[in-house]
Chain A
Amino acid sequence: MTVPTPRHGPAPPPMADSPLFPLGARFAPPSGNYRWVEPWGAPLRVMHWVAALAILVLIVTGFYIGRPYFMTTGAPPQYLMGYIRLIHYVAAGVFVMTGLVRVYWLFAGNQFERLPALFPIRKRDWVNLVTQVKYYLMIHPERAPHYIGHNPLQQLSYTTTYVVSIVVMFTGFAMYGQAAPGGFFYTITQPLTLAVGGIQVVRLVHHLCVWWFIIFPIMHIYLVIRKEVTERGGGLSGIINGGHYIRADKQYVDE
């Protein structure tokens, strides 16, 4: 299989490049010496936003299921918890689908999206990881390693998010499967459930994982906006239209 390479070069002819989300391409390039790159393929972008929405729905409904914070008072027939659980399960299904798309795209995506891009595997990445941390800690706020795709710190935190996603899905399925012993979900999850000490442990892990999906977006959204404000390349719109501008006078580690 040939690896589709990301486009980069001068500013694109407006509109033509991102048929899926032409919005971002309308932005004029920032003044100064910039060039255009397109690191994020359409499946990745769709997956990102669908997953984000699914996670939001899962968090809101999940907190209700864990601790029902409002109640119905009238006589049955009512079905509040029932509907909320239904929404939770549907959103969970959507979330799992986005995961499958991501797994497919680990093998079919471009160099910034493929499996190796998930991990800081080269020595230079570990060196840059330290530089990146020092940059964020403002020890040397002028000197960040430049990546077109994800820098090592992003790799680590995003890959952690994937791992947590797998754990949260698996623990979710384990609890879901309890209603139908001997069924598919029960059978695939039960050995691990017993190995970790029972379904209550699974439940606790599920709850703890959720907090990653609250804490990670706080930092993620902040850092993305920060990058946008300090570098003005349109990176924020890159996850919508697939491309953004980067400074043409810098060297990029992962080019």
Chain B
Amino acid sequence: MFFPTQFPWAKDQSLGEHLEASGVSRRDFLEFCGQMAVLLGLTEMAAPRVAAALEGVKRPVVIWIQLQECTGCVESILRSADPSIGELILNIVSLDYSHTLMAASGTAAEAALASSMKANMGEYLLVVTGSVPLAEGGIYTTMGGRTAKDVLVEAAAGAKAVFAVGACAHWGSVQAAKPNPTGAVGVAEIIKDKPIVHLTGCPPIAETITATFVHYLTFGALPELDSDGRPLFAYGARIHDQCPRRANFDAGQYVEVFDDDAARKGWCLYKVGCKGPATFSPCPIFMWNMKTSWPIGAGHPCIGCTERNFWDTMTPFYNRLPNVAGLGIEQTADTIGAALAAGALAGVAAHAAATTVHQIRSHRKAAAAEGAHDGQD
């Protein structure tokens, strides 16, 4: 449904038949399977098995709902990898419903959603992008007059598994940043009784999503997840531990400002606020836009967009540490600490002076008392 294709994947066709019909060569398909196996952390030896499993797969029913969001995640997916494989992916993910991409609109679109959900009850895969606003009864996002929460709950009821795609679906993203005026939350806050995989990032890399689909189709299950619900094959290691600039970090070589000599040499971006040390993401490996580049590769520090609360905790984006909140004016930990330490030093000095004065006085008093005593003798 993404691109109107000449060879739509028919309902009961297996993927193998479908690919053959669409003229995808076996070689390309195996290459794709090999890439996916590697992304998933399997060995390339697993590629034939992935291929065998995928070939037999019947067309899955995928329903994609978009809640409170910017459509950036959909954009990211549309730009996945090179055209032949992209087409393949898009054909795998033949969508029964996606209100941005489908031709139908209005009542017709809603009818398509309802009928697809009914026909495939308990079988379909639900993809969700966007957060769920809960404030004031959820009025901040409505579709066809129904709140995002209602749409989500209804769609999830018949889903076999849920792909929560993007930072919005993960924890709310920018609209959930303080003070979160719409009360935005992630999918997992609402849907508790379905397997959910979080493909987080703002937006996530398309290949992450593709590989998770492939895993799901191949093994019939979601991949192994980390403590925040993200698939380990993609989010299992920090940017910082996979970064090509890590040698410069370890050597003590840092960019100080964006146009200095160090920046031209491609040194580490730590001092201009890189959040790579706090961020689990496959960016350095998968990269973006058909492996063209990625933020740090292009000389910009990582902003930590795959981590929960990153709009609050990873900002200021060009400083390493968040400001200390709640002091009226925003202050860094070090300014506050240095001010307190200076205060302590000043206090100690003043106290020492007062003590000295007191000591001198009491010595004088004692001496005077002694003198008076002497006088009496």
Contact = CB atoms under 8 A, between A and B. Distances in A.
Given A66-B320, A200-B322, A81 B250 contact: yes
Interface in A185-238: 190-191, 194, 197-201, 203-204, 207-208, 210-211, 214-215, 218-219, 222, 226, 229-230
Contact of A194 (B249, B308, B320): B308
Given A68-B271, A178-B277, A204-B321, A219 B348 contact: yes
A179 interface: yes
Interface of B: 226-228, 232, 236-238, 240-241, 247-254, 270-271, 275, 277-278, 280, 304, 307-310, 312-314, 320-322, 324, 333-334, 336-338, 340-341, 344-345, 347-348, 351-352, 354-355, 358-359, 362
Main secondary structure of the interface of B (DSSP, over half): helix
Contacts of B309: 197-198
A2 interface: no
A197 B313 contact: yes
Contact of A198 (B238, B278, B351, B362): B278
Given A67-B320, A190-B227, A203 B278 contact: yes
A192 to B, nearest CB: 11
18 contacts: A68-B254, A68-B271, A71-B253, A71-B254, A80-B252, A81-B250, A179-B240, A181-B226, A181-B232, A198-B307, A200-B322, A203-B278, A204-B321, A204-B333, A208-B336, A215-B340, A218-B341, A218-B344
A70 B253 CA distance: 9
Contacts of B236: 181
A200 B253 contact: no
Contacts of B348: 218-219, 222
Nearest to B226: A181
Closest 8 CB pairs of A and B: A80-B252, A211-B337, A200-B313, A78-B251, A82-B250, A207-B333, A222-B348, A72-B252
Nearest to B262: A71
B345 A218 contact: yes
Contacts of B352: 222, 226
Given A68-B270, A79-B250, A204-B321, A194 B227 contact: yes
Given A77-B251, A200-B275, 4 more contacts: A68-B252, A191-B227, A222-B351, A230-B359
A179 B238 contact: yes
Given A198-B308, A204-B322, A222-B348, A178 B247 contact: no
Nearest to A78: B251
A181 B341 contact: no
Contacts of B304: 200
Contacts of B307: 198-200
A136 interface: yes
A67 B250 contact: no
Given A200-B313, A215-B344, A81 B278 contact: no
Given A72-B253, A81-B249, A194-B228, A181 B278 contact: no
A31 interface: no
A131 B3 CA distance: 81
Interface in A51-97: 66-68, 70-73, 76-82, 84
Nearest to A76: B251
